[in-house]
Every structure is written in C-alpha cells, then in structure tokens.
Structure 1
C-alpha cells in the first residue's frame, strides 16, 4: 500500500456504529487512516480528495465502493446494473442494515435482498446438490472464519430447499486476530533486538502486519517459517523465525474462544453432534491448523473444504439475486431464512379503570423472537382514543445490540365516531433485509344498520366494518434522513463525474501524445532514414565490390593454393559473383535516377544482406582444404603356406631361395641411382633412439638391382632350374657397423606350366 493514510479499508467494521463503541475503539488501533468523532456521535473518516482535506461518513465510503463495483460489472457485462444482492454479516443490527441500504442507494443500486453471509454460503452449497434427501433432513454446519469475525450456521437441506436452523457468531474473532498475535510478538522482539518501535511509524506497522499475514499462511503448511523485511524502519533490515508450536502457544487466548459459537449454534438448533452430518469450513482464517483441530474434536468428524473459501459468499449472493429477479431462470430452490435477534414492541397504555389514559404504564411484547422466519408480517391490535407511539427495540440478552432502541413509530392523529376508544390494527413487517418496520395502521369502526322486514320485525344485519387508514410517522435512531441521503447521492454523482472527467482527460492526453509520436515518426523518421542511407550506402557498396573481386580473382587465378578445387566449383563462384555484380549495377542505376527526398530503392541493409549471401556461398568452396596424400598400403599378413612335401620332394630353386644369405653392401653417403630406392618417413639410422635395431623400408624397383642375385635367362648364377621372379620386395634394414643386411620376408610360390614360379 503506497498511500496508507489515504487508503480506506475494513469499512464494514465502522459502518452503523457509534464512535465510543468499545469494539470500534479496538478496531481503530489497527487502522492506518485517521478517524474522529462526528457531531452526531458517529465516526468520520479523514482523507484527501483532489488535494483537499475532506471528511466522509462510513456510509458514503461504502457507497463509493459499491459504485466502483457497479462500474466494473457494467463494463464487463456491457449493460446497466441496478438490481443486486448484498451479503452482510449475521450480527449486523438494524442500524447497520439500514446504513448498507443507504450506501446502495448512494451508489445507484437497488438491493433485492440483504442476505446473511452464512446463508449465502449454504445456498451456494445446496443449490447444485442433486442427491439431497426428500424426507430426512441433511444437517450441515457452516463455519465461516473471516478476516475479522467468526460466524456459524447450521442449515437443514432437503430436495429443493434449505432451512436455517441456527445462527451464532463472534464479532471480533477472525484471521486478523492471529495476525495481530504475530504482530505483537515480533514488534516486541524487534524492539528488543533492533531497538526500533514500529508503533511510531504507520508504514512500518502496515508492512509488518502484511508480513505476519503471509507468515500465518506459511505456518499453515510448514512446521516453521522465517520472517524477513528489508528496511522496515530507520533503514534496518529485520529477521525473525517462529515455529508453529510457538505460534499456537501465543494464540491460545484466541483459540479458546472458538468453541463458544459452535456450542451456541448447536444448542439453538436443538441438535446433537451426531445429528450434524457434515461440517464445511470457509473464510480466510480457515487455514489455521489449530482451528481445524478444534473443529474436528468438537464435531467428531473432519471438516471439509469443498467450497471456495473466498468466493462462496459472492456466489451465493449472485444465485439469490437470480432467484429473486424475473430476468433469470434458475432451478427452483427455496431459502428459509431465520432472524438472529429478538425484537420487541413497547408502548404506553392506560391503566385499568381509568379513562382517556389518565394514568399510563409501559407495556412490551416480543413480536419477532430469535429464529423467526424472514420475511414475516404480524398485526397488533390497539384500543386508543388518540395519537400514540410504539417503540421498536432489541430484547435484552447475552447478545445485546447497541443501541437497544431501534426506532419509534407515531400512529395518528385520528378521530373516532364513538365516545369509546377506537380499535386500531397495526401491521408490522420483518422484511427480507432483516429490518423491522410498522407498515400501516388501520382504524376499524363498526356500523349497525337495522333492516325493515315485511312482518314488521327487526332482524339484526351483519355488522359492517369501516376501515380508515391512519398516518404513521417513523423515527429511526442513528439513521440517515432522506434529505441527507439525497445530498450524499448528489455528492457521489459529482465525484463520479469528476472521476470520469479525469479518466477522459487522461485518455485524451494519451491520444495527443500518441498523435505527436505518430506524426514525428511520419515526418522526422523518414528524413533521418534517407540521410543515413545516403551516408552509409557508399561504404557497403564498396564492401560488396571488394567481396566480388576477391572471390573472382581467386577463382580465375593459377595459384597452387586453389589448384585442388574442381573447375565446376570455380565456375559456380564466378556465376555467383556475376549475378551479385549485375544486381548491384541494376539497383544502383535505379537509385541514382531518384531524387534524394524519395525513399531509397537500394538500402544499406539490402547490400549487406547480398554481401553476406555471396560470402556464405563462395567461402566454403574457395577455402576447401587440400586433400591429404594417399597413405602407403598396409602390408598384408603372409598367407598360410600350403602343406609342403618332404625336403627330398622340394624343388631345388625353392630350396635355394629359402637359404639365408648375407650380402654386404658398401656404406656410402649417397647411393647410386641404380641402387635400391628406399622411401621412408622414419628418421635416419643415426637418429634412431638407442636400443632400436631395425626399421621398415619400402623398396621400389627391386628387380635388377646390384644387391639381388643375378639371373640370366631365368637361370640363377648357381645353375639351378630357371625361375620367374616378380615382386615388390620388402626388406628389413639392420643398422650394423659393416653394412646393411637384407632378408626376404614375403614370398609366394606359383606353379606355371612344368616349372614353378616364385613371386617375391
């Protein structure tokens, strides 16, 4: 809350109550705005409106709230809203109910019913039930633990109807009392720990109360919870911690008061715990586990949470309004409400044996006892010879309402045609709103007229009763006079008109601002954009030209770096460069032909996009890496030789090649061209690490070398049988001090014709 001193809340705690009411004085201690006593003894709320200090009555403020709600409803429904149903606490007395009706009149609403909140909850619960019994009554207890009060209602359900059996309440037991317990606990703790007194700062009190409310909700689901508030007061951050057990311990005085309304409701309904079939819990304070535990222990059954704890009253009010309104068609469901108070009528009467009321005494009778159905009409008969008064007041009891005297009705003046006291019937009504009033007064007079018969005998005719309406004057104690209500309506209309003017002014200002921005964009932005394009266009064109030239030169050059790229790929690059250059030339000619005040055809963004497209196409082709050189063939594993014959059957040439022969080759720094050519990736022999005695050497063109055995016409020098030798020889080079030793490591014998052929 950004402006607590000018933000009015909890208006239901103020309306229709005297300023010196003890309960009101306790409530004022937790309110952040200023409230003083008015000239009539009722509270006045101080606030600033349009920069001026103003005072408002609680009825006026409630009228503002209802007017705002009406505007929201009309905006969403797109239709005028007049009829409504308003939910009120069951403990509202006559004066408070009349104040709510006056507030609705100020807001331009027509309440069809002031329904009790618990009754609205029961209606929202039962109207959708399709399994209600037809004969046996289903008794359900509704426990509403709201922000500031606790209300209990026991309702009996049958198919198509509900009947309120009993009401009970505690006007000052609600969720805020648990918040207050936490607030007092942490206020004392912070004063001791951080040396700050939150009671000296309204904003600090408000922030701490809001944090305590969140803490209460956290303790409903967790066994412990922290409290952290930054810069609560004097630029100090505060921290706290509390467990659920400790919270319940400091809330014991509040929890001890929960059972009393439950016991009273059960007693007034004339039921036992076994006769209560279900228990429904609603309200913002119903989340406290300690309360649920008390309800479970009292009713011997687990309470249910099948209804929306915050919206059930509003739903019930909407359903009741639809039932009473001829505009909507709703399922037939009868609501039998009961009155929570006892109301008596008192008057002064003449003592027996006296005439014309020479001596008078006070008489009283209870007309509407507790539990009386709502609405209800009764008639009282009086015998009077002149004007008299009737007082309406609450019956003294445990729940005495203040003020006890509700209103006074003056009946008369009237004149009787006889000398005796006249007979008057006074009709009193308890209407749907729970307001008691004298509806009418009628003077009854008998007329006796003889009827002449043919036999000259007189026979008495039926008595004829003459009815005359008598005026009745009403005086309600503490209520607003009709003239005051009309003045409040006019003030509310002026304030609503002022709000509408301010809202429309704000809309017009926003429209003007939007028009200015729009015109600035239309007039200024295109000029600025054309100027930026004319400045930046040349640079981005040069960039595209450089990109085209660089890729073209690379594609047509004979540089060895690009000789591995296929010609078809280079042609693609050249074609892309030609296309980009043609596009640029065409667009540039079109742009040069336009005046500078026309939007450009060739924009810098288009040129940059073309450059990126060309680069994205050509770069992968021109930067393609050169393919790696072919790796040498991996030597094949020698095949398993076929089964060999005995040494006596082996050919002489094979026996000759299988003999080891050492050939010494003179060591020279550079071998002759006709010598064996060796390609190796290994380091020179003298660079081999110590302990390495051999390396693989690839020998090429091994046939006819100086180190191979000389063969003439296929016949070895030793004169053995002719052999045909074809092979790429693999040698092992041994690093020896006297030369290189060559060993044959792979051979293959292939028979061709009558002579075998050895493939080396």
Structure 2
C-alpha cells in the first residue's frame, strides 16, 4: 500500500511519501520537489505542473493558475469578485447556469468550460502520476491538505476533485494540523506524561493565506486549542504591493498603461515575486529590469526593504491584529514555529518575536512541512506502516447550529458543535414527530466564516409515522462532523415502545426508559453528549443529558420516579431514510467527469506518443547528417552520401511544413524509410569496430589449440592420457576453422570500407564458440587418478608373551563388540557447554 500525503497549494504542490527510511518529499520529472499548481490547455493536449508554468506567458489565455480560490464557490461570491478584481486572471472566468464558476480555455480546437473541481482533479492526476513513477507502484489512498478556514462546501468540493482524479482521500487534513503533526513526530523535547502540556504557536504564511494555530503537546498527543486565519493575507498580497507601485511608476516615467496589457502585467507580477524574495535576504537597493516589456520598451526600477515595508504597512498591521488575537487566546506559549513559503519576510518574523515574546523557530522545512505531515497521517492510517504512537485531536473552526421546522421560534435551533469543538465527533438528538421533517445546518456566526452563504445543508428525515396510540413518535437523529471536517446526518431511527405480552418479538430491543408525554406542538427534546467517555471517533458511550427548559427538567424528574414502577417495555426500532440536500456533485455527475478525465488522459497519452514519434524523426535527421560528414564518411560512397544527405534535407523541410502535424504512423513510416539508407552505413561502421576484435579472439583460440597439438606430438607427459582418436578430432576441427579464418580474413581485407563485409563479427564469434566447444573439453581432460599401493601389515617382532597379550586384548575387544551389538542402544545424556 502506498503512503502519500499531498499539499495542494494555490501556487505550488508538494508530495510527501513514507518509506522505510522515514518521510521524504519526492521530486517530479524535472528533479524538482516543487510542482507548480498550473494547468495549460492546447489544441491537442494538456500540460500540467512545470511544463504548464512554462507556458503561462506564451499560452497565456489557456493556462490556469490560482484556481484553488474558486473551488466550492459561486460566481457572485464577494470573495470571488474580489479575487477577479485584485488579481486579474489571464483566462476567462464565467458563471455557470446554476450560479457556479466555469473556467474557459481553448482545447481540441474548441472552447471548453471546466469547473474549478475539474481543474483541481487534473492537478491531482499529475500528482498521482508523479508519485507512481517515484514509488514504482499504484497510488490510490492519499491524505490531502486544505486550509483550516475551508468551509463544508469547499471540503466537499475537494473530495469530489479527489474522486475525479482517481484518488481515495483517507482524510482532508487542515494545514495547521499537518504542520503540528510533523513537528510532534520529529520534536524530541516534548513533555513527559506527568509534565504540564506545552503550548506551541504555529504561524503558516502561505502564498494567499495566513493561518495561526495554538497546539497543546503532551506525551504522544497533540490537541488543537485554537485556529485563526485570514484568507486574504499571503505572499501574493505583498507581491501586489510591489506590482501596484511599479504600475504607477511606469505610467509616470514611461507612459505605459500596464493594466491594459495582460501579458505585460503577468510578467511584472513574476518579476515582483522574485524581487520580494531578494529583499528578504538583502537590505540594499535591488534593481528590477524587464526587456521589451511593452510597446518594445525596456523598463527598469529599484526597491529596498525599508521602502517595501513602508508600502506594506497595511498588510503588516493586518498580520499584527491576527497574531495579537491568537496571543490573547493562548497565554502560556512555550515556542513559536514559523512555516510557509512567505514566512521569510523579515518584517513578519520580527513581528512574531515582538508579539509572542519568542524567537520564531524553523525546526521544519518551511515549504514541505504540510506535505510531510499529511504523509505521516497517511502512514498512521495505513496498516502496512508502524509509526510512533501519536494521538491527534483536531477541532472544528466554526460553530454549527441545527435548525428544525415549526414550533416556538426561540426553541427551534440548537448549537450542536461550538467553535473549536473536537472532531471527529458524533451527537445523538431526540425529536418527537408525527410526520417527516427537515433539519437545517448552518454556521452560527456568519461574520467569521469566509463564505457568502452560512447554510451547510438541509436533511429531510423521511417516512416518519405517528406512534400506535396516535401520539408523536420518538425519532433519534445522529449528527456528525467527520475526520474531513464535513457535517452530515449519519442516521435517523424511529423507536416505538410496546408492552411485554410474554411473546418474543424479532428486531426489538429492550428499553427501560419511559417516554415522556409529548403534545403535537412539542418541538424537540435535544440530548447532547456527556463528555466523560468518548471513543476514538468521538462516539458517545454514556447516557444522554437533557438540555431542555425547567418544564423538561421537572418532567424528567417525574419520569425517573415513574420509571421504577414502569413495567418492562420492548422497543421497536425502524431505520428512517435521510435525504441530503448539500452543495455537492451527485454520483452520476462525478461518474461522467471521471469518464471525461479518462478520455483526456488517453488523449494526452496518444499525443505524447505522436510527438515522440515526430521527435524521433527529427532527431534521426540531425544525427545522421552529422555522422555521414564525420565518423561515417568512409563507410558510404560519395554519390550515396549525396543522395542520403538530400533525403535528410527533404525530410527536415517536410517536418516544418506539411509534416508538422501528422499521425503517429506517418512518422513511424518516415523513420523506417530513412533507416533503409542509414542503417547499412551504421552497420558497416559497427562491424568495422567489432570485427577486428572478433578475429583476434578467434586467432587466440587457434594458436592455443596448435600449441596443444605440438605438445602432444612431442609426447609431453601432461597429455599422454589423451587418446589418439580425440587428438585426431581436435586436428580435424582446427584445420576446418583455420581454413575458414584465413579465407574470410583475406577476403575481408580486399574490400573497401564502404562495401558490405563478407563476414560479420557475430559469425566470427560463433565460429570461435564452435571451435572451443569441440577442442577445450579434450584439452582440459584431467588425468585419471592413480591409487597408491597398499602397505603390507608389519609382523609382530615382539615376544610370545606380548603376542599373547595382544591376542587376549583382541579377543576381549571382540567380545565387547559382540555384546554391544546384542544389547539395545541406550540413550546417553550430554552436557552442553
């Protein structure tokens, strides 16, 4: 199972993987660990990543970037309109018939419209391909990062993008949580179990957003305490300060209206981003030079850090407010960790020290921390990896309120998940109804939610029927915020109490709780969790706690007294269908987009193969033109070289004319035609290099065998064991191969280099192999072993007395041996040292 974590940023992406050696960030096909979040469309294919970013100027109107800002949003969203106004897009952004967003570009000769979810899925497809090429295995399960401030609808949209891109997202992980996990795993000075938890502030300054989180670390556990974010405060906002300055400067000095030329505006944006990075390391004046910028004019400018900070005063104060807010929420700060691509701005670093009173630490890689944290989370979720035990308690950034129909207005809603409530977590709510009803989930405080609509979704509880006595039925509804941070109604169950008639009923559970009398106007009795015992998924294991008014409490007291006298009841449970009305793509639409993405991937593959075939022809033309003028000049006739050179020139002209856009097979046939003329020349050159070596090897074998025959003729005792028949066999084989060797060598020496050889190097080596296989076994035949003569037994020269003793000893030994054979073998004990 692959273990992959993906940091999908507004401008760049990073891929973290877990391997035996630990967590690492992998590189793409350009050996770069940073993959740009760019998607470019062309007439026949798509470019994604580095190749797409390289086209952001040449293929300006068909290259998408910063599309993450549009995912899960409507066209009339104020944030979307601000995005289009403050950061002009080179591509067309239009509303969809349903009010969503469509990104338009020319593809396959037509103008196509894509949703932000589709473009994000294309980027994820590229990330998946990069990971598979690096890991040499199929990648399906991943953990994907999202900004902490992402709302429910944006998280659902990201999940849809993962499905379209062929990925199974195990968890949508908040950026701040991912950074905290990476820090917690690698940091060695976390408190022991009996020590006080340490609060660490994480400041993540990205390309488009800034997020600040307070995290409490204890032994093997991290708990998110609070998270604050500003979606419109990031590196590109500081870039815009520089862009606006130079736009006004060039208008004054060069009379150029940069905003009227989108290509010039994009080039200026790129140069300002580079200038900002240089000012982070230098306090002196930094020049800005752009050649042929606009109207064939070259422009120059300069900027220093002091002037830049003066221009960015509004943004710096915005960051100060955000940091101060977090400081007030988390008093006891142990350390401050700063990450993010834009965290290198000196003024922001200094502000962190000023407000939190701690020098910002850079334990983690500022750019890759999120991807590494996601990979760690994927490793924790994977059954194939063993990771140091670490518990993660994440939180819900916005409070969620549930509303229901009818009844008294003041009692028709309840905040089920307050701000910074632990997730994932489930709660059970109890309603009394006679008919189907609807629940509506909203964010409690719309002013802190960076989305125009506070509505999360509507949930219809269907097939609710009155109780047997005609009164309202008891309906238990389970609501949950899952590990992705998405709210949903998990289930709805109608319960009905029946008196015990002594007979066994199927599918009925015993419930000793007495149902309270409910009038038709009674709205709902909402039961929350008792936060004493919760399992790992946040499920409530204890009894429910009533949160009704005083009447409900009095009635509950009566119920407690009556419950003792109540007879045993049986409870019949009926699962009720729940219809979700949430802003998410339906399954059939996702299936259609998956098929469309598959078709585009196949088109990309076919186009790549076509381009590779074309490039092969072009490469062969340039290669052979150079060779026939140099290394191959002696191996081709002069008139043939002229004809071949003319054919190469014609092919080159054809490639840049009518052959520029042909089918793959046309290029294959064209290359085959060229090789008919070029391959024989290359073969002659190759044979010229290999044949002398082959003749030399065969000559060595012949010389070795001749020496053997000379030694045999001189009756060398080393070979006197070899039979005459075998020697004759060696002589015969040697004569045949020697004659073949001399004949072919003489014939080949008579030929010129541009003529085809009479014998190939492979034939020479085959002849050598045949000669060796016949002669070497005979030459290397070992002499038979001669056994030494047996020594005669020495006679006993001692006296008769000694002879008798030896005889007696021999008889005794023989008797002992016989007794040993007669007795069964006994088991001996041994001491092992």
TM norm structure 2: 0.61
Residue of structure 1 in register with 2:84 after alignment: 28
Q: Deviations over 1:484-526 (max 9, x none)?
A: 2221111111111111221233334445666788999999986
Alignment check: 8 A CA contact 1:106 1:492 kept: yes
1:232 aligned to which of 290, 293, 312: 293
Residue of structure 2 in register with 1:199 after alignment: 259
Q: Distance in 1 between matches of 2:585 and 2:756?
A: 72
Aligned residue runs from structure 1 range 233-382, under 5 A = 233-268=294-329, 271-272=330-331, 275-350=332-407, 363-382=412-431
Residue of structure 2 in register with 1:130 after alignment: 188
CA positional deviation for 1:305:
2.0
Question: Secondary structure at 1:398's aligned position in 2?
Answer: helix
- 1:465 aligned to 2:551? no
Question: Secondary structure at 2:200's aligned position in 1?
Answer: strand
Q: Distance in 2 between matches of 1:366 and 1:129?
A: 37
Residue of structure 2 in register with 1:447 after alignment: 498
Show structure 2 runs of 5+ residues with no match.
Answer: 1-55, 504-564, 642-745, 759-833
1:410 aligned to which of 447, 460, 473: 460
1:113 aligned to which of 139, 152, 171: 171
- 1:81 aligned to 2:130? no
Aligned residue runs from structure 1 range 679-698, under 5 A = none
Q: Assess, with a 3 A threshold, how the Cα gap between structure 1 residues 512 and 412 changes in structure 2: closer, same or farther.
A: same
Residue of structure 2 in register with 1:714 after alignment: none
Question: Secondary structure at 1:345's aligned position in 2?
Answer: strand
Greater relative contact order (CA < 8 Å, ≥ 6 in sequence) = 2
Q: Distance in 1 between matches of 2:468 and 2:609?
A: 66
CA positional deviation for 1:593:
3.7
Between 94-103 and 152-161, the greater mean CA deviation after superposition: 152-161
Aligned residue runs from structure 1 range 362-511, under 5 A = 363-400=412-449, 401-415=451-465, 416-450=467-501, 461-476=567-582, 478-510=583-615
Q: Assess, with a 3 A threshold, how the Cα gap between structure 1 residues 225 and 383 changes in structure 2: closer, same or farther.
A: same
Question: Secondary structure at 1:230's aligned position in 2?
Answer: strand
Residue of structure 1 in register with 2:149 after alignment: 91
Aligned residue runs from structure 1 range 139-158, under 5 A = 139-158=199-218
Q: Deviations over 1:211-262 (max 9, x none)?
A: 1111111111112211111111011111111221111111111111012222
Q: Distance in 1 between matches of 2:574 and 2:748?
A: 102
Alignment check: 8 A CA contact 2:634 2:754 kept: no
Question: Secondary structure at 1:336's aligned position in 2?
Answer: strand
Q: Distance in 2 between matches of 1:304 and 1:185?
A: 32
CA positional deviation for 1:349:
3.5
Alignment check: 8 A CA contact 1:451 1:461 kept: no
Alignment check: 8 A CA contact 1:133 1:159 kept: yes
Q: Distance in 2 between matches of 1:371 and 1:412?
A: 32
- 1:48 aligned to 2:154? no
CA positional deviation for 1:594:
3.2
CA positional deviation for 1:600:
9.9
Q: Distance in 2 between matches of 1:69 and 1:599?
A: 52
Between 367-376 and 255-264, the greater mean CA deviation after superposition: 255-264
Alignment check: 8 A CA contact 2:441 2:456 kept: yes
Q: Distance in 2 between matches of 1:517 and 1:204?
A: 37
What is the aligned-residue RMSD (CA, Å)? 2.8
CA positional deviation for 1:410:
0.5
Q: Assess, with a 3 A threshold, how the Cα gap between structure 1 residues 597 and 285 changes in structure 2: closer, same or farther.
A: closer
- 1:163 aligned to 2:214? no
CA positional deviation for 1:528:
5.7
Alignment check: 8 A CA contact 1:450 1:460 kept: no
CA positional deviation for 1:483:
2.1
Residue of structure 2 in register with 1:175 after alignment: 235
1:7 aligned to which of 63, 68, 78: 63
Question: Secondary structure at 1:80's aligned position in 2?
Answer: coil
Q: Distance in 2 between matches of 1:482 and 1:518?
A: 53
Q: Distance in 2 between matches of 1:406 and 1:534?
A: 77
Alignment check: 8 A CA contact 2:395 2:420 kept: yes
Structure number with higher helix proportion: 2
Show structure 1 runs of 5+ residues with no match.
Answer: 352-359, 453-458, 536-588, 602-760
Q: Deviations over 1:372-428 (max 9, x none)?
A: 111000000000001000001111253034311111111011323231100010001
Q: Deviations over 1:174-219 (max 9, x none)?
A: 1111110000001100011011111111110111011111111111
CA positional deviation for 1:431:
0.2
Larger radius of gyration: 1
Alignment check: 8 A CA contact 1:424 1:444 kept: yes
Q: Assess, with a 3 A threshold, how the Cα gap between structure 1 residues 142 and 595 changes in structure 2: closer, same or farther.
A: closer
Between 130-139 and 368-377, the greater mean CA deviation after superposition: 130-139
- 1:104 aligned to 2:162? yes
